[in-house]
Chains A and B, each alone.
Chain A
Amino acid sequence: MTIRTATRPIEATMSDPSLGLPTITMAVPMPGFPAHREFVLVRLNEDGLLYALTSTEDPDLRFLVAPPEPFFPDYAPEIESEVFAALNTKDPDRLLLLTVITAGANETTANLMAPIVVDRDSMRAIQVVLSGTGFPVRAVMNPVY
């Protein structure tokens, strides 16, 4: 197993097949990526705000994700009990909410309509679609500092 050190470049960490991180299984594949079920969460910056959800089956496929709270303090989506069942959730406090980030040339947006919910005990995840809530698919992200 390779140990990640602070001096390792992001590129090496993200393309390293021996990541040695717990695998997250998508209980339902993400829309657009039906064949990808296994991912690892790779931390990309030391403040812990940016992660790459990286496919273990296809190291070229990754999504930038971040906890939404620092950027969208009022964002508190309701998660339905069907999601708990699909994730084998025993304790809802163990759920981790991540928003998918789209990096653009002019602006960076976060998908608040469909956050990824990860159960840290079962290591199962699902991209929950909050349709009818009015949460935008592309919410502009501003620096938190």
Chain B
Amino acid sequence: MGPQHPSTHGVLRLVLSLKGEMVQKVEPHCGYIHRGMEKMTETMTYQQIIHLTDRLDYLSAHMNNAAVCLAVEKALDIEVPERVKVIRTIMDELARIASHQLWWCSFGMDLGGLTCFFYGLRDREKILDIFEETTGSRLIQSYNCPGGLMADLDPNFQKKVKDFIKYFRKILPEYDELLSGNIIMMERAKGVGVMSKEQAISFGMTGPSGRGSGFSCDVRKHHPYHAYDRVKFNEVLRTEGDTYARYMVRLDEMRESMNIIEQLIDNIPTGDVAVKMKPIIKLPEGEYYQRVESARGEFGVYIISKGEKNPYRMKFRSPNFCNLSALDTLARGQKIADLVAIGGSLDYIIPDIDR
């Protein structure tokens, strides 16, 4: 299956051992779009690196960049202005909603419900419009930079975000009507690809995929960054560990994200959007690690610095790689059609796996 199969969501090759339609074994073969990202970072300055990280998991580009920026800021012991923290939080959550929307529609498509695809894209457009106005790009926002943000918010930002939340709160029940409550969807998803909490932890499954198994792994809760310690939100947890649980976690997370944005959007502090930084940053010698919650789980950036303008070694801990490693366990003994549903529910992004 793959690397050009429509439901591997990119150039991923899955070598399947089949018995009829039953999956005996899944061997993911990665590396079709391996670009040597981690090696490339060693020749770049820290400001340049953020333009690589947003190309990893292009659906949570904002969070990935934030991880690099936070790591650099931690190393330099810089405290960014309050305004930056709040804006970063709002942008993160918008990116999370947009990512989950795209996940929802492609998951629907994996199950054969093509209509979902267009509904999800329709609503995602609205977030991308907001992004475009402020950051200048629609898909991969290089909006964060070490020390703050590239630019200030667009004057329409607050109004547009509020309009979007009003709109999307009305639209979410439509998602439920179309897919969540559908008998065929439930038959396809409930009890399919069950992963226990212990297994999820041992695979390092994070994000909605891990939380569907009851693994409390929300970095926003456990290791707050940005303005997450100031907002009230629930960590969405489900204990079933099946495809349906992972599905519902993501749907509920969109609601939680909207709650977070609503708490912040009305009082974004005024002030600078960046700390004054030298054009070339040199990190003090040492090792630094920063993790953030990307749309698919824990994204970590590990930097070893020798005091140069570029990192001596840089390593990304990508959530999709760990989630993909669980695919074999999840899909064994299920049918090919289930493999597609399970893969959809893991929501992997191939560039993030291959790096």
A and B interact? no
